[in-house]
Amino acid sequence: MQTEITSVQKSQEVSALLAVPNSRIIAGGTTFAATSEQDLHLVDISTLEGLDGIKQKGNRIELGPLTTLESIEASALLKTHFPALAEAAALAGTPEIRKKGTLGGNLASSRIGDTAPALLACGAKLTIKTDTDFRELLIDRFWDQNGKNDLQYDEWITRITLQLPKDSFWGAAYGKYGEWDLTKEPSVSAAVQLSLDGNDVVTAVRGGLRTGSHNIRRMFGLEKALKNHPASEESLENAVRAMLPAAQDVMEEKAFAAFLTEILQRVCAQAKERRAL
């Protein structure tokens, strides 16, 4: 295996370097620890300034692609406003992986990372840069049905933006089933964010589900079963039932139902707690 690493000093250099055949961005380096690809040209962006950190700007929170999973896990700002994302980071890999692994790498890797379902549930927006321009993309459109991301050969993620919840009574939670192991398929993971009105009716809901290493989707069936319905035991059961086909190839039905039900119960409990304050 022949690997060439170029350390980038200016962000303007990244797209041009990515145009070299078999080029990949590297930052934390955890993605490439298990890769079997040959003759890679790695574009190291780890020393670029201004691409890490978690900042609140008005009604939104911005995260740089070099923000580590450890920083996301520990962020009081995210624990308050986007607890599902903080939970996802806390369950990603091992402590060593979380210390080095970055949010950008977790999203852009060929193996879809743990933060993906949480960012789907949050409705995140990605800022993607090329050599001369940039574009913004709702995370719903970042992966196709086969789990391939939308990045072109010379593009890279420069910012992840989250809008603060507008509703007063909301909740968000993440869950993961199975152990993390690079030699096997990643475990099933899911996240849900929803809002309730004063009568326990679900006014807004988004869900993200990852099954296997290349399958990430919005939980539209769950969302349809919950939105504009009371957050009752019956509605939660209907929502879980609507998602059973999505996980049938990777998880036993009864176990998946219990897994998703627990997430929904935590989300609803959070929303009701906020209303009680």
The pLDDT of residue 102 is 93
Looking at the fold, whether 221 and 259 belong to one and the same domain comes out as yes
Q: Are residues 11 and 107 in the same domain?
A: no
Statement to judge: residues 251 and 152 lie in one domain: no
* Residue 220 resides in a domain: yes
Q: Would residue 49 count as lying in a domain?
A: no
Which pLDDT tens digits describe the chain residue by residue (277 residues)? 677 888 887 888 888 888 888 888 888 666 655 444 567 788 888 888 888 999 999 999 999 999 999 999 999 999 999 999 999 999 988 899 899 899 999 999 888 999 999 999 999 999 999 878 899 999 999 999 889 999 988 899 999 999 998 888 999 999 998 765 555 555 899 999 999 999 999 999 999 999 987 899 999 999 999 999 999 999 999 999 999 999 988 889 999 999 999 999 999 999 999 887 7
Q: What is the pTM of this model?
A: 0.90
Give the residue among 132, 107, 117, 128 at the shortest CA–CA distance from 28. Answer: 107
Residue 135 has a pLDDT of 94
CATH of the domain at 98: 3.30.465.10
Q: Are 209 and 176 in contact, with CB atoms under 8 Å apart?
A: no
pLDDT at 34: 47
For CA atoms 110, 111, 113, 118, give the dihedral sign. positive
Domain CATH code at residue 194: 3.30.390.50
Query: What is the structure's pLDDT at 185?
Result: 56
Which has the closest alpha carbon to 69: 46, 86, 50, 45?
86
Identify the domain boundary among 116, 137, 163.
Answer: 163
Q: Would 96 be classed as within a structural domain?
A: yes
Residue 148 shares a structural domain with residue 237: no
Instruction: List the one residue out of 109, 100, 67 whose CA is nearest residue 85.
Output: 67
Domain boundary at 128, 163, 198, which?
163
256: burial class by Cβ within 10 Å (0-12, 13-18, 19+)?
Answer: buried
Residue 89: per-residue pLDDT: 96
Number of domains into which the chain is organized: 3
- Residues of the domain holding 267: 170-276
